Chain A
Amino acid sequence: MSIQQLNFRNIQIALFIGLAAIFFSCTNENNVLNDDGKQGETEDLETDFKVFKAKQIFFALPSPIETAMILKKAGAQYNEDFLNKLDNVNKYTTSKQMALNLGVYSADLSYASLYDQNQTSIKYMAASKKLADKLGILSAIDQSIINRLENNVNNRDSIMDIISETFMNSNSYLKDNQRTQIAAIILAGGWIEGLYLSTQLVKTTKNNKDLITRIIDQKLSLTTLINMLENENKVPNEDITSILKDINEIKLIFDQVKVNSSNIEPVGSKDDKVTKLSVKTEMIYKKEDIDRLIVKVENFRTSVIK
């Protein structure tokens, strides 16, 4: 085949790809259908939200940095003994172990950083990088991020921003590359570590009422976690199935705790800048429920990090 023929063939290929791209974008533009199969028209938004099926549903779990912030506000102290040991990082070889523990280390990193444990934060960021690299999450945590962390050790806002950025890099990379199951397992790992830290801190904190409230609050995000995992398990995945089994055992204990809430009423501030959502909540639980939860979460977390 001559060079001219090759060039012509390449042009043909490029044209074909271009036409295919146009075809794909057109079909995507036309996929908004009402329940009756007709293309969508908007008249009244109240109705539209009922008529239209949302094109995309996001289940957003509390991120590790948010969980750490909540714990600190509830009066938790820093205790390094609760963190997953750094030496363990080399033990994780399966994608399930690596993903779960990337979530665990992210939560530990967030917890340490909020208590200004700068050297520990850098070490946990390095452990997270190791697992992210092994999972093929390219450039989620590169050396420049670790350097930025080292250069900003005295600025907590910057540190939180860097951690938040690495978390977004990981989950956006995985979602964009259709690896949403791994993304969900990482989030599950972060969630279980957050719950583990709270339940351990309850044992070592004298005035632990606020911490117990925060633990019971996780009943809400547990629903989101289960929905997210079940959604990802529509294409059955044995790793997610096994995680769901443990999470559902935790749910059984949470089911014993009753949370009653009044209607939520928005109340505007004087300057109309911040709305307060006024709502009263009553939590009904027995001490034994919390004790059972502590044990269950500890066992599950032990199986995750071993």
Chain B
Amino acid sequence: MKKYFQFLLILSALSVIPFWGNAQCKNFAKKAKIDLLPFIHDGIYNATVLSEGETAELYKTFYSGQQYRIAVVAEETMPKVEFKVMDSKRKVLYSNKEKGFAKTWDFTLESSQQLIIAIQVQTVETLIDEIAKGCVTVLVGFMNEEDKIQK
């Protein structure tokens, strides 16, 4: 019976291992919201664990008349992260690589569009045994223009 419980203990411990990283990303993403200020976070959670060279994409509709900020933030131990904003035909509209890997980009749209935010963790040029890996989050914020005008 004891062996059975030990087996269950091991099994339940193993089952949570793959989610440790994601749970850590939640706290990381919360802290990363500071990069959006003074924009208001839209409340959508987009964070994942990525290794160097890996990519992720986010599809989102952005509306005309709003000022947006996109923030792509990675853990400090990670290599630089490139993010590109593309239209639905994958034409690149912005790449932070041309802006010294800036973490944020502010923009407005003349008319509402669906855009793709493609991120890629850069590879480290020096040869090391361990592959860099950590949380990367994509945060979208919008400006509360009404309050800005009142203030």
Given the interface pairs A24-B17, A223-B114, A277-B93, the reply to whether A58 lies near B58 with Cβ below 8 Å is: yes
A residues near B48, Cβ cutoff 8 Å: 55-56
Pairwise interchain contact A13-B9, C-beta atoms closer than 8 A: yes
Q: What's the minimum C-beta distance from B127 to chain A, rounded to whole angstroms?
A: 13
How many A-B residue pairs have C-beta atoms within 8 angstroms? Tell me. 214
Pairwise interchain contact A220-B112, C-beta atoms closer than 8 A: yes
Given the interface pairs A16-B10, A156-B144, A280-B111, the reply to whether A161 lies near B41 with Cβ below 8 Å is: yes
Q: How far is the CA of A56 from the CA of B25 in the complex (A)?
A: 14
Q: How far is the CA of A150 from the CA of B23 in the complex (A)?
A: 29
Pairwise interchain contact B22-A175, C-beta atoms closer than 8 A: yes
Q: How far is the CA of A20 from the CA of B84 in the complex (A)?
A: 36
Pairwise interchain contact A49-B118, C-beta atoms closer than 8 A: yes
A residues near B42, Cβ cutoff 8 Å: 60, 62-63, 65-66, 164
Q: How far is the CA of A260 from the CA of B18 in the complex (A)?
A: 44
Q: How far is the CA of A65 from the CA of B66 in the complex (A)?
A: 13
Pairwise interchain contact A276-B17, C-beta atoms closer than 8 A: no
Pairwise interchain contact B112-A41, C-beta atoms closer than 8 A: no
Pairwise interchain contact B44-A176, C-beta atoms closer than 8 A: no
Q: What's the minimum C-beta distance from B84 to chain A, rounded to whole angstroms?
A: 7
Q: What's the minimum C-beta distance from B3 to chain A, rounded to whole angstroms?
A: 10
Pairwise interchain contact A54-B55, C-beta atoms closer than 8 A: yes
A residues near B106, Cβ cutoff 8 Å: 273-275
Pairwise interchain contact A60-B93, C-beta atoms closer than 8 A: no
Pairwise interchain contact B59-A32, C-beta atoms closer than 8 A: no
Q: What's the minimum C-beta distance from A51 to chain B, rounded to whole angstroms?
A: 10
The reply on B103 being an interface residue by CB < 8 A is no
Pairwise interchain contact A60-B59, C-beta atoms closer than 8 A: yes
Q: What's the minimum C-beta distance from B59 to chain A, rounded to whole angstroms?
A: 5
Pairwise interchain contact B63-A49, C-beta atoms closer than 8 A: no
Pairwise interchain contact A157-B144, C-beta atoms closer than 8 A: yes
Q: Which of A69-77, A92-100, A235-243 contacts B (4 or more CB under 8 A)?
A: A69-77
Number of A residues near B (Cβ < 8 Å) is 75
B residues near A13, Cβ cutoff 8 Å: 6, 9-10
Q: How far is the CA of A40 from the CA of B120 in the complex (A)?
A: 12
Pairwise interchain contact A42-B56, C-beta atoms closer than 8 A: no
Given the interface pairs A42-B122, A164-B40, the reply to whether A278 lies near B59 with Cβ below 8 Å is: no
B residues near A281, Cβ cutoff 8 Å: 110-112
Q: How far is the CA of A273 from the CA of B99 in the complex (A)?
A: 12
Residues 40-61 of A contacting B (Cβ, < 8 Å):
40-42, 45, 48-49, 52-61
Pairwise interchain contact B97-A62, C-beta atoms closer than 8 A: no
Q: How far is the CA of A166 from the CA of B45 in the complex (A)?
A: 11
Q: How far is the CA of A1 from the CA of B82 in the complex (A)?
A: 57
Residues 57-75 of B contacting A (Cβ, < 8 Å):
57-61, 63-67
Q: How far is the CA of A269 from the CA of B107 in the complex (A)?
A: 10
Residues 84-131 of B contacting A (Cβ, < 8 Å):
84, 87, 91, 93-95, 97, 105-114, 118, 120, 122-123, 131
What residues of chain B have their CB less than 8 Å away from a CB belonging to chain A? 2, 6, 9-10, 13-14, 17-19, 22-23, 25-26, 29-30, 40-51, 53-61, 63-67, 82, 84, 87, 91, 93-95, 97, 105-114, 118, 120, 122-123, 131, 133, 138, 140, 142, 144-147
A59-B58, A161-B40 given. 12 additional CB < 8 A pairs?
A16-B10, A21-B17, A29-B51, A60-B44, A64-B43, A65-B40, A66-B66, A160-B40, A163-B43, A171-B43, A176-B19, A273-B106
Query: Nearest 4 CB-CB pairs, A to B?
Result: A167-B43, A281-B111, A164-B43, A60-B60
What residues of chain A have their CB less than 8 Å away from a CB belonging to chain B? 1, 9, 13, 16-17, 20-21, 24-25, 28-30, 32, 40-42, 45, 48-49, 52-66, 69-70, 72-73, 156-157, 160-161, 163-168, 171-173, 175-178, 214, 217, 220-221, 223-224, 227, 261, 263-264, 266, 273-281
